[in-house]
Amino acid sequence: MPERGNPWTVLSATVRYENGWIRAVENDVVAPQGTRATYGTVQFKQLGVGVVAIDGAGRVLLVGQFRFGAGAYLWEICKGGRAPDEPPLDAAARELREEAGVTARRWIDLMGFRASPGLTDEHGTYFLAWDLEEGEASPDPQERLERRRVPFAEALAMVDRGAITDLGTVAALLKAWRMAERGMLPDEVAALILPPP
């Protein structure tokens, strides 16, 4: 039975850079094989949330924006961050309301995720939401967002042709599609995701 506990020993950890969102930490460690090393990691202060939101016509809400970190314009599902004490579903509902002006009556857990696990502790939760009620968006004034609604099949086609590349968006859309294909979702939302036969 292999050992799956933490084989790293941290001798000291020093915060080398910090802002409101991240903390760069330099760890003085003993590696699994016993050698001393320095291992720098990035801690995320917020946890991630995201939502694949589908309207009554089977269209997914996509948000387009120039992402400063990536230096590129990306199309993504509605995503954001939450403080550790904000419940994931509350945070996802808040982001959906702020970014898209939409409230959803039905929610299902799509997946818990980790990202860039060698270098960061980023993790979070994605949801599937439907039965939407339309309202007024109130995006962060620092953000400049485009909002689109595309048929689910077209969102998948965007993944197919590389027009959607954000890992979280790709994973969440494909997971929703798989769950629909495999009968793992309520019929009412599976019918919105799958094309009519």
Smaller CB separation from a copy of itself, 35 or 85: 35
Q: Which of residues 108-167 bind a copy of itself (CB under 8 A)?
A: 111-123, 141-144, 146, 156, 159-160, 162, 165-167
Helix (H) or strand (E) holding 97: helix 88-100
Q: Cβ 43 to a copy of itself, closest distance in Å?
A: 9
Q: Which of residues 29-48 bind a copy of itself (CB under 8 A)?
A: 29, 31-33, 35, 37-42, 44
Q: Which of 13, 28, 55, 74 binds a copy of itself (CB under 8 A)?
A: 74
C-alpha span between 157 and 172 (Å, rounded): 14
Q: Cβ 92 to a copy of itself, closest distance in Å?
A: 16
- DSSP single-letter state for residue 179: H
Number of residues assigned to the chain: 197
The long-range contacts involving 113-118, CB below 8 angstroms and separated by at least 24 positions, are: 113/48, 113/168, 113/171, 115/48, 115/167, 115/168
Q: Which of 52, 76, 127, 193 binds a copy of itself (CB under 8 A)?
A: 76
Q: Which residue has the tokens 């982001």?
A: 95
Q: Cβ 70 to a copy of itself, closest distance in Å?
A: 4
